[in-house]
Amino acid sequence: MERKRNKIVVIGSVNTDMIIKSARLPKPGETILGGVFSIVQGGKGANQAVAAAKAGGNTTFIARVGDDGFGETAINSYQLAGICTDFIIKDKTFPTGVALINVSEQGENSISVASGANAMLSVEDITACRDSIRSAGILLMQLETPIDTIHFAAGLAKSNNVTVILNPAPAQKLPDNLLAQVDILTPNETETEILTGILPDTEENIKKACDLLREKGIKTIIITLGAKGVYHSEIGFVKGFRVDAIDTTAAGDVFNGAFAVALSQGKGHLESIVFANAAAALSVQKLGAQSSIPSISEIDKFIMEWEN
């Protein structure tokens, strides 16, 4: 089996986001008329896979969708982005994951998520895809699919010398034996506090949190700090790009996908972080999740103009 070091396998969630923007959020039992409705592609796994593909990565996506219109639309959009969709399973019983989102004019939101087929992604599914994972250079995962499945996939990758990147989102506590399988952990501030019990509000606390996580066997921790950039457990602080943010949805997903691409292409961690920061900075200047994800040409142009 040929190993392709530049190949990225993403395992994660697929959601169809149905959004209503209205003057305010409805109270319990209340109906509000006059909202604006839109349907967009979402799910952290899908966001990261699209971000990787658009940033120039050789990307394969492993996921479950329903055998329905939402699933078909999602798969078609991934193919247009250049993602290998051979291992996206159509579930005959459970529907594609859906998020129902109410957004007010003030930016407040109320979200209900039906995980659907995402919750059915199993160890058996990963076993069926094992050769694809073994032949990769990087495995990128998040936490919107079952933990047992994520744990199994991490172990499979680790035993085949595939670099495991885990974005521990949505925030939750994780077992030490899973964390020990992770090469690079990319939490934000909230996720760092959930995992360590330490609020990363000062450099001293950030270092303490990193030390605690490294004691669990993780080689590298990259804490994303929003507009402040990131903190790398060996490099230290790396500044982000100051831009006027319109919508920060999926910025962390874009960072993870772009970082995996740069790393897969042989760039060092510092250069990979700069590339990922640029991708995230571009994404927050547009509305939406996958609709805001920049292309490789846009990222390269942004970095070049910033440096000049």
Is omega for the bond preceding 170 within 30 degrees of 0, making it cis?
yes
Q: How far apart are CA 123 and CA 146, in angstroms?
A: 9
Q: Which of 82, 91, 21, 32 is nearest to 52 (CA)?
A: 82
Choose, from 67, 244, 253, 300, the residue flagged as catalytic. 253
DSSP string, 84-106: B-TTEEEESSSPPEEEEEEEETT
Q: How far apart are CA 87 and CA 133, in angstroms?
A: 11
Q: Residue 168: exposed, middle, or buried by beta-carbon count in 10 A (0-12, 13-18, 19+)?
A: buried
Q: How far apart are CA 42 and CA 155, in angstroms?
A: 27
Q: What is the largest CA-CA distance in the chain?
A: 59
Identify any residues that bridge with 63 across adjacent strands, giving them in sequence order: 88
5 three-class SS? coil
Lookup result for tokens 């979402």: 42
Q: Give the strand pairing for 97-104 and 163-166.
A: unpaired
Is 253 one of the catalytic residues? Answer: yes
Which residues make Cβ contacts (< 8 Å) with residue 17, sequence separation at least 6?
39, 40, 41, 42, 98, 99, 101, 289
Q: Residue 295: exposed, middle, or buried by beta-carbon count in 10 A (0-12, 13-18, 19+)?
A: middle
Catalogue the active-site residues: 253
